[in-house]
């Protein structure tokens, strides 16, 4: 069974998707981490992000893998080749680059088959922007997570502070809004709510409450 979780930046997808996977004993795929890994390579190599052909080649030739702690099916980190990029893909530089890279059709074309292959035949929670609409349109459960822009900025601001980055909350809100605009208006697989997705507004809800809601949806279809 596939549980697809889509939604805008900082809507709580990763926290919730991981918790749902743990709760149900499912695997977990963070597709945003894959786009982030390609963007991190482009930033590291000083490549022009608007060069679609170059970014496509980079996506096609960058080996993105996940690393695991022993005995845990939920990935602990992200690797590009043998290099650990777990921290690097969450930096402000990659935040700023990733939407520009992810909107390039050739980049998506390189990533989507890898995502389908990763999930093949397993019970898995997959999170992203186009999972219920494009990558797994037949997913058993589709969830679109959202929250008010203020709540999302507060959450992301907290993340950044925890990671040692200084950021003003207004700048964080502007950054999130900018990323959402690019993700929602791009021609290739834009962020959109699938017709059959369950929309959950997480504003003011605890992680546990959201996990309960999704577990109940999964139980309805037999998980
Ligand atoms: O979920 P995230 O913030 O880690 O995603 C990083 C970027 O990757 C986001 O700006 C949009 C893009 N993305 C995408 O285009 N399609 C996906 N399935 C997942 C992420």
Reported as a single tens digit per residue, the pLDDT across 166-213 is: 557 788 888 889 989 999 999 999 999 999 999 999 999 999 999 999
Question: Which letter does DSSP use for residue 47 in this model?
Answer: -
Q: Which pLDDT value is given to residue 158? A: 76
pLDDT 10s digits, 96-146: 999 999 999 999 999 999 999 999 999 999 999 999 999 999 999 999 999
Q: Which of 9, 13, 64, 129 to mutate to test the pocket of ligand 1 (most atoms within 8 A of CB)?
A: 129
pLDDT 10s digits, 144-155: 999 998 888 888
For ligand 1, atom 2, name the residue with the nearest CA.
Answer: 32
Which positions ≥6 away from 122 have C-beta within 8 Å? 26, 27
Quote the tokens at residue 87: 């921290």
Helix (H) or strand (E) run with residue 39 in it? helix 31-44
Q: Which of 29, 31, 33 to mutate to test the pocket of ligand 1 (most atoms within 8 A of CB)?
A: 31
Q: Which atom of ligand 1 is nearest to the CA of 115?
A: 18
Q: Which of 35, 86, 135, 177 to mutate to test the pocket of ligand 1 (most atoms within 8 A of CB)?
A: 35
Distance (angstroms) between ligand 1 centre and the Cα of 30 equals 9
- Residues having CB within 6 Å of any atom of ligand 1: 9, 31-32, 35-36, 98-99, 102, 128-131, 179, 183
Quote the tokens at residue 106: 């050739």
* Largest Cα–Cα separation, the chain: 48
Helix (H) or strand (E) run with residue 199 in it? strand 198-201
Question: Which letter does DSSP use for residue 139 in this model?
Answer: -
Q: What's phi and psi for 46, nearest 5 deg?
A: 65, 35
Complete domains list, the chain, with CATH: 2-222 (3.40.50.300)
48: confidence class by pLDDT, cuts 50, 70, 90: very high
């Amino acid at each position: 069974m596939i549980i697809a979780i889509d939604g805008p930046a900082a809507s709580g997808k990763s926290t919730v998707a991981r918790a749902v996977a743990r709760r149900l004993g499912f695997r977990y795929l963070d597709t945003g981490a894959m786009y982030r890994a390609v963007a991190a390579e482009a930033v590291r190599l000083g490549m022009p992000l608007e060069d679609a052909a170059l970014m496509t080649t980079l996506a096609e030739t960058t080996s993105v893998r996940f690393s695991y702690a022993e005995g845990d099916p939920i990935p602990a980190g992200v690797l590009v080749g043998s290099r650990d990029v777990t921290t690097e893909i969450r930096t402000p530089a990659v935040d700023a680059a990733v939407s520009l890279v992810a909107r390039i059709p050739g980049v998506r074309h390189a990533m989507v088959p890898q995502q389908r292959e990763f999930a093949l035949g397993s019970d898995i929670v997959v999170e992203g922007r186009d999972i219920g609409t494009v990558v797994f349109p037949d997913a058993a459960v589709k969830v679109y997570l959202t929250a008010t822009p203020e709540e999302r900025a507060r959450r992301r601001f907290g993340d950044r502070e925890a990671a040692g980055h200084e950021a003003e909350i207004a700048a964080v809100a502007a950054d999130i809004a900018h990323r959402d605009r690019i993700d929602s208006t791009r021609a290739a697989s834009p962020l959109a709510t699938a017709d059959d997705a369950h929309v959950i507004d997480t504003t003011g809800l605890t992680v546990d409450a959201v996990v309960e809601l999704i577990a109940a949806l999964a139980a309805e279809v037999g998980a």
